[in-house]
Amino acid sequence: METSLLKRFVVGAPMPLSLARHERLSKTVALAVFASDALSSTAYATEEILRVLVLAGSAALGLAIWVAVAIALLLIVVAISYQQTIHAYPNGGGSYIVARVNLGPTPGLVAAASLMIDYVLTVAVSVAAGVAAITSAFPALFPYRVTLGVACIAVIAFGNLRGVRESGRIFAVPTYLFIFTFGALVLTGLIRYALGEVRPLTETVVHPATTLSGFLVLRAFASGCTAMTGMEAISNGVPAFKEPEAHNAAVTSRWMAGILAVLFLGLTLLAQAYRVVPVEHETVVSMLGRALFGRGAFYYLIQAATALILILAANTSFAGFPRLASLLSQDRYAPRQFAKRGDRLVFSNGIVILGAFAALLIIAFRGDTHALIPLYAVGVFISFTLSQAGMVRHWYRERGAGWRWRLLINGAGALLTGVVTIVIAVTKFTHGAWIVVLLVPILVLMFQTVNRHYALVADQLSLEGYGGPPPIRHTVLVPIGDVHRGVVAAVQYAKLLSPEAKAVYVETDPAATRALEEKWIKWGMGVPLVILTSPYRSVLTPLLEYIDHLQEEQGEVRRVVTIVLPEFIPHRWWQHLLHNQTALLIKGALLFRKDVIVTDVPYHLAH
Amino acid sequence: METSLLKRFVVGAPMPLSLARHERLSKTVALAVFASDALSSTAYATEEILRVLVLAGSAALGLAIWVAVAIALLLIVVAISYQQTIHAYPNGGGSYIVARVNLGPTPGLVAAASLMIDYVLTVAVSVAAGVAAITSAFPALFPYRVTLGVACIAVIAFGNLRGVRESGRIFAVPTYLFIFTFGALVLTGLIRYALGEVRPLTETVVHPATTLSGFLVLRAFASGCTAMTGMEAISNGVPAFKEPEAHNAAVTSRWMAGILAVLFLGLTLLAQAYRVVPVEHETVVSMLGRALFGRGAFYYLIQAATALILILAANTSFAGFPRLASLLSQDRYAPRQFAKRGDRLVFSNGIVILGAFAALLIIAFRGDTHALIPLYAVGVFISFTLSQAGMVRHWYRERGAGWRWRLLINGAGALLTGVVTIVIAVTKFTHGAWIVVLLVPILVLMFQTVNRHYALVADQLSLEGYGGPPPIRHTVLVPIGDVHRGVVAAVQYAKLLSPEAKAVYVETDPAATRALEEKWIKWGMGVPLVILTSPYRSVLTPLLEYIDHLQEEQGEVRRVVTIVLPEFIPHRWWQHLLHNQTALLIKGALLFRKDVIVTDVPYHLAH
């Protein structure tokens, strides 16, 4: 029943809990699993900077490299900051935990809400950009980008439902292929630049649509900050590393930051050198690849690697989101279903929810990366800020060796990311960031509502100080409309439940009653038959009134009434349509009635 | 619960069965209720003849009057035929009953299927033509004809859900208004014609699109035969008349046929005299009204009367369809829900189904009368033919006074309508009649399938020759996941059901088991606790295996296992989302298991 063939085929055989500890990642596999998000953003971050600057004309594009340098510096500060977090919280130092432990529950929930939003956006943006890499190489596929995007999300989600180590293996090849091809692209480009072999891609001069203002440069900076999304993935996922977890995670984190900074700066430099001007239907990376290698095998390899790492980068969120949801769930801020591991030891519900929301975003924004970018990164930077601020408090409380120095590093991180958060929210507010600014408090409110509910339920169900249930009396009733084998079976069952069971018949036609009474003498098994009259032919009202009457009669002791409903189960589903749903009606009417319990006695038909 | 305020507002207060006999119709009201369908078809029948003939050019329009005369003769034969049916079957001589009793079950079902299809089409065609009368007068409403049509159907359906006498009152005014205004139109037109005051409406000459063939004339005849739809309504509804039912019904039927023939012939004559050529956006009746009275008050009165009688003509079907469905249901050919009278003593389910299908037709055919006409009348003529043929058999068997003469009349009717049926089906086949030709056997097959099912169920539930149920033993199990007040209540209840009740716990974590066992000592009320282990963390599989084990143990005597499920009911609906649906899962898995009965013990939470 629980184990359907389809489910087995899609997610594989169930695993016993004893296998859980072995599902750990080596550093190389972990880099592929957790760094794909951060690294892959180099595929679009440079382009997003250029797209903003070009509004002030092609002359303004020269500022891109300075914007990129600023982002790279920020990246290094944040990376160092997070190194400290990994060591301080080896059991998983996600922003939620760090903020909650050090700053209190509400800042923790704000961090969690921000991160959850950005996990969904990471999936949507990465998949959209991955599909853009494909359609740059094969323009004929452009009209199908929404379908392609949704299909990709489905594939990743199913991969994750099968379990984490298998996911790791799937992602190792494309991540390393991406590092290799992008490295080759940057290296080849820079060498040719050094040799003076550079030929500008275009001589087109774009005229300014707006003046070059500080606000525009800040908006370009804000758009480029998408390069930093995904940096927190490793600190959230420390327990997934092989032992020693914290050490391995920190090393992997350094590698990730280094590769990210090199690729991002290199690509921006190349774009500047080749005077790339962003266009509608082709990505900047695709233009650079064509310029350096022509439309040959290596160009297609670059596009393939870009598409693969981007589409699979979404996987970082498929590790992070369900983990965060399960943490919230354990703390009773999210529905408890998120804390439940599936047959394959993964948090299936979180995976499914994440996939569904990301697919909705792809559909709503028609698979357009640039339309999604303004919503992106706000959440990440809120959580960066809260996490660093939490670490400041942490060092101040702990006061271990060198705590002042550590506090200073995290303090600088908190200050910087805090300022950047405001810059991103303000410069992109009207372009879509307002949605996130609105959504964070709504989510926090939802978390708190859920939490309050669980507390109330626990309180109402608690046995602490409970005097035990009051004594009860029991009456069993069998409502019948006819006498047949199904009714006989129900009456036999009712007699098992109580020797004082009664059958109840609602009379709508006195002639029918006489015929029924005769049958009852033969088949009633000695159970008394109560006949209720109904002037309005309603079966329900007299029955409800009779139950009321029985329960009013009781004195001090509560009377529980069990309604035994004879119900024959047709052989095929459509046959249900051919029968009066009186049983359903009775169940519906009694559903919320206190001290009434309804029991179906099914009589299975063979044809 | 059953009685919602909305329902009361829409359909009125429930009525006791004792009121049923008084819901009878006088002849004048009955003419309004049953004749509106037949009479109203004069509003479009002439036009449908002209629309076919004009394909052979405006010169061919002169044939219309001869086609109309042929139809009027046919109408008189059918009317006399039906007079005999009314007297022979005073309890309602619908084609279904006459064909079934005299020709056998399958011809009866063919008649029933044909009639049901035409009831739906009557509603759709009448409403579409009624809306056309409105949009002829107010062309600005033309774009809203689908919405108007669906709204009309909804109003009629609700009127009928309130009960039959009130419907009669609603329909008397428009029917008599229609007879008066159309009579005045025909009379005025003919007098002016006699006085030589005729001025042709148009001098336009339409050139032939096709040659004038016998086939085309037959198609015009077939289209005009829609004038005869609804003639069977009175013979179906004899029991709704005041006593003496048969006499009153026959008188009403004669009046109906006479008025119908006069109006139809008169209108066709007028159309000829004024040389009307059909156009797209205005009906022929509207054109004649304008020509004779100008766009004055009387013109608008004609349009209003046309619209009202047409829209309300649909009401004939709302009397006939549910009645036929209830007859089929009583004979176990249709779901038994159709035989059940609602609070207001009408067959609510038939009314709702008819309204829904007619609305679907209006939507599918975009409210266009002319698109629906080819589907129309095939069904009616099949049922005419079967009904007359049944009467021939009836007289042959009965051989009362003058039986030869009666047989001859019905024989002529059967022959004529049989030939017309073939003419209609053949000439309109490619224009849409094929749908009906296909649908009739499908419906007959459905009726037979339903009948076979009911027979099988009755057989399986029958107590005839039944030796009584085999003896059973009883085990009560309470699956628990925790110990709280809800569980305590469920255990208390389980003890009432059986002194040997057991609680069952599926262990997924041995540490949790120990804590649970300690709680159980205090709160278990002496009920033994069975602990099942589960290596794959599935709660369901071990439980199912345990039930299997219990039931295998039994020897000769069947063991019924009752599963008592503690379930707390949250205060608000959304709170259900916050809890594991383990109870639902267990219920689903045990739903089709023999000798297992699942009982929820609800524990209602207050917040």
CA–CA gap between residue A554 and residue B447 (Å, rounded): 51
User: Where residue B528 sits, what CATH number does that domain have?
Assistant: 3.40.50.620
* B463·A485 Cβ contact <8 A: yes
Task: Compute the half-sphere exposure of residue A106: CA atoms within 13 Å on the CB side of its CA.
Answer: 3
Give yes or no for B489 touching A (CB within 8 A).
yes
CA–CA gap between residue B247 and residue B245 (Å, rounded): 6
User: Does a structural domain hold residue A459?
Assistant: no
Here the tokens at position A230 are: 């995904």
Listed range (A107-116, A134-143, A595-604, B22-31) with the worst mean pLDDT: B22-31
| CB contact residues (below 8 A), chain B span 390-429, against chain A | none
Q: How large is the angle between the packed helices B95-103 and B378-398, nearest 10 degrees?
A: 50
* B592·A569 Cβ contact <8 A: yes
Using DSSP's 3-state secondary structure scheme, residue B442 falls into helix
What is the least distance, in Å, from the CA of A589 to any CA of chain B? 6
* B2·A540 Cβ contact <8 A: yes
* B453·A575 Cβ contact <8 A: yes
Which residues from chain B sit within 8 angstroms of residue A567, using beta carbons?
A: none
Q: Among A405, A422, A454, where does a domain finish?
A: A454
Q: How large is the angle between the packed helices A403-427 and A214-224, nearest 10 degrees?
A: 110
Which residues from chain A sit within 8 angstroms of residue B586, using beta carbons?
A: none
Are residue B267 and residue B321 in the same domain, yes or no?
Answer: yes
Choose among A132, A130, A152: nearest CA to A36: A130
**Nearest beta carbon to residue A485 from set B466, B522, B537:** B466
User: Does a structural domain hold residue A439?
Assistant: yes
B547-555 average pLDDT score: 82
| B602 neighbors B557 (Cβ within 8 angstroms) | no
Q: Is residue A578 predicted with pLDDT exceeding 90?
A: no
| CB contact residues (below 8 A), chain B span 550-569, against chain A | 560, 562, 568-569
B-interface mutation test, from A575, A582, A592, A601, most B Cβ less than 10 A away: A575
**Positive or negative: CA dihedral A53, A59, A61, A66:** negative
Tokens 């035969």 locate to B225
* B607·A483 Cβ contact <8 A: no
Give yes or no for A187 touching B (CB within 8 A).
no
User: Does a structural domain hold residue A8?
Assistant: no
What is the count of structural domains for chain A?
2
Which residues from chain B sit within 8 angstroms of residue A336, using beta carbons?
A: 578-580
What is the least distance, in Å, from the CA of A497 to any CA of chain B? 5
Q: Is residue B200 predicted with pLDDT exceeding 90?
A: no
For residue B530, give the H/E element and its range: strand B529-533
Are residue B199 and residue B151 in the same domain, yes or no?
Answer: yes
pLDDT in tens, B207-231: 888 888 889 999 999 999 999 988 8
* B1·A497 Cβ contact <8 A: no
When pLDDT is cut at 50, 70 and 90, the band that residue A401 belongs to is: confident
Are residue A259 and residue A341 in the same domain, yes or no?
Answer: yes
* Cα pseudo-dihedral A363, A367, A368, A369, rounded to 10: 110
pLDDT in tens, B111-145: 999 999 999 999 999 999 999 999 999 989 988 99
**Nearest beta carbon to residue B456 from set A484, A580, A607:** A607
Q: Among B425, B456, B487, where does a domain finish?
A: B456
Q: Is residue A371 predicted with pLDDT exceeding 50?
A: yes
What is the least distance, in Å, from the CA of A6 to any CA of chain B? 17
**Nearest beta carbon to residue A335 from set B486, B578, B607:** B578
> Which residues is B25 bridged to in the sheet?
B241
Are residue B451 and residue B547 in the same domain, yes or no?
Answer: no
CA distances, B295 to each of A341, B283, B287, B303 (Å)? 77, 14, 10, 11
Structural domain that includes position A262: 38-200+207-454
CA–CA gap between residue A213 and residue A47 (Å, rounded): 19
ipTM above 0.85? no
Are residue A544 and residue A508 in the same domain, yes or no?
Answer: yes
Beta strands in B397-528 (DSSP E): 472-480, 502-507
* A541·B2 Cβ contact <8 A: yes
User: Does a structural domain hold residue A374?
Assistant: yes
Task: Work out the number of other CB atoms within 10 angstroms of the CB of residue B518.
Answer: 11
Using DSSP's 3-state secondary structure scheme, residue B380 falls into helix
CA–CA gap between residue B226 and residue B307 (Å, rounded): 17
CA distances, B424 to each of A481, B49, B51, B427 (Å)? 48, 13, 16, 5
| A363 neighbors A31 (Cβ within 8 angstroms) | no
Here the tokens at position B345 are: 């003593």
For residue B322, give the H/E element and its range: helix B297-330
Phi, psi (degrees; rounded to nearest 5) at B83: -55, -45
Are residue B444 and residue B559 in the same domain, yes or no?
Answer: no
**Nearest beta carbon to residue A337 from set B335, B483, B580:** B580
Determine the Cα angle at B168 with ends B167 and B174, to 5°.
100
> What pLDDT was estimated at residue B3?
45
* A601·B604 Cβ contact <8 A: no
Are residue A230 and residue A96 in the same domain, yes or no?
Answer: yes
Give yes or no for A446 touching B (CB within 8 A).
no
Using DSSP's 3-state secondary structure scheme, residue A323 falls into helix
Tokens 């698979």 locate to A367
Give yes or no for B188 touching A (CB within 8 A).
no
This prediction has a pTM of: 0.71
When pLDDT is cut at 50, 70 and 90, the band that residue B12 belongs to is: low
Residue B595: CB partners within 8 Å, gap ≥ 6? B472, B551, B558, B559, B560, B561
Are residue B583 and residue B437 in the same domain, yes or no?
Answer: no
| A329 neighbors A339 (Cβ within 8 angstroms) | yes
Q: Among A402, A427, A454, where does a domain finish?
A: A454
CA–CA gap between residue B224 and residue B74 (Å, rounded): 11
CA–CA gap between residue B243 and residue B227 (Å, rounded): 29
Which residues from chain B sit within 8 angstroms of residue A353, using beta carbons?
A: none
* A483·B463 Cβ contact <8 A: yes
CA–CA gap between residue B570 and residue B549 (Å, rounded): 34
What is the least distance, in Å, from the CA of B172 to any CA of chain A? 29
Listed range (A217-226, B196-205, B595-604) with the worst mean pLDDT: B196-205
Are residue A480 and residue A532 in the same domain, yes or no?
Answer: yes
Residue B557: CB partners within 8 Å, gap ≥ 6? B470, B471, B472, B473
What is the least distance, in Å, from the CA of A499 to any CA of chain B? 10
pLDDT in tens, A29-57: 888 878 888 899 999 999 999 999 999 98
For residue A550, give the H/E element and its range: helix A540-553
Are residue A394 and residue A311 in the same domain, yes or no?
Answer: yes
Q: Is residue B2 predicted with pLDDT exceeding 50?
A: no
User: Does a structural domain hold residue A593?
Assistant: yes
User: Does a structural domain hold residue B464?
Assistant: no
* B605·A472 Cβ contact <8 A: no
When pLDDT is cut at 50, 70 and 90, the band that residue B252 belongs to is: very high
**How many contacts (CB atoms, under 8 Å) link A and B?**
177
A193-210 average pLDDT score: 79
| A231 neighbors A71 (Cβ within 8 angstroms) | no
Q: Is residue B308 predicted with pLDDT exceeding 80?
A: yes
A93-117 average pLDDT score: 92
Give yes or no for A538 touching B (CB within 8 A).
yes
What is the least distance, in Å, from the CA of B509 to any CA of chain A? 10
A346-359 average pLDDT score: 92
**Nearest beta carbon to residue A453 from set B486, B492, B575:** B575
* B568·A541 Cβ contact <8 A: no
* B457·A599 Cβ contact <8 A: no
* A484·B497 Cβ contact <8 A: no
**DSSP single-letter state for residue A528:** -
* B577·A536 Cβ contact <8 A: no
> What pLDDT was estimated at residue A15?
59
Beta strands in A481-578 (DSSP E): 502-507, 529-533, 558-569
* A588·B1 Cβ contact <8 A: yes
User: Does a structural domain hold residue B8?
Assistant: no
Supply the DSSP string of A204-251, one letter for each residue.
Answer: --PPPSS---HHHHHHHHHHHGGGGTTTTHHHHTGGGBPSSHHHHHHH
Are residue A147 and residue A230 in the same domain, yes or no?
Answer: yes
Q: Is residue B157 predicted with pLDDT exceeding 50?
A: yes
pLDDT in tens, A493-533: 999 999 889 999 999 888 889 999 999 999 999 999 999 98
pLDDT in tens, B537-549: 788 889 999 999 9
Q: Is residue B187 predicted with pLDDT exceeding 50?
A: yes
| B306 neighbors B285 (Cβ within 8 angstroms) | yes
| B184 neighbors B289 (Cβ within 8 angstroms) | no
User: Where residue B63 sits, what CATH number does that domain have?
Assistant: 1.20.1740.10
What is the least distance, in Å, from the CA of A404 to any CA of chain B? 42
Alpha carbon of residue B172 to chain centroid: 23
> What pLDDT was estimated at residue A2?
40
Give yes or no for A486 touching B (CB within 8 A).
yes
How high does pLDDT run on average in chain A?
A: 88
Phi, psi (degrees; rounded to nearest 5) at B236: -70, -25
Are residue A559 and residue A437 in the same domain, yes or no?
Answer: no
For residue B365, the one-letter residue type is: F
For residue B43, give the H/E element and its range: helix B42-53
* B523·A568 Cβ contact <8 A: no
Give yes or no for A450 touching B (CB within 8 A).
yes
What is the least distance, in Å, from the CA of B564 to any CA of chain A? 10
User: Does a structural domain hold residue B600?
Assistant: yes
What is the least distance, in Å, from the CA of B156 to any CA of chain A? 25
More confident residue, B183 or B604: B183
Using DSSP's 3-state secondary structure scheme, residue B341 falls into coil
> What pLDDT was estimated at residue A3?
45
What is the least distance, in Å, from the CA of B332 to any CA of chain A? 10
How high does pLDDT run on average in chain B?
A: 88
Phi, psi (degrees; rounded to nearest 5) at A136: -65, -40
Here the tokens at position B250 are: 């026959």
Most confident of the ranges A64-68, B2-6, B92-96: A64-68
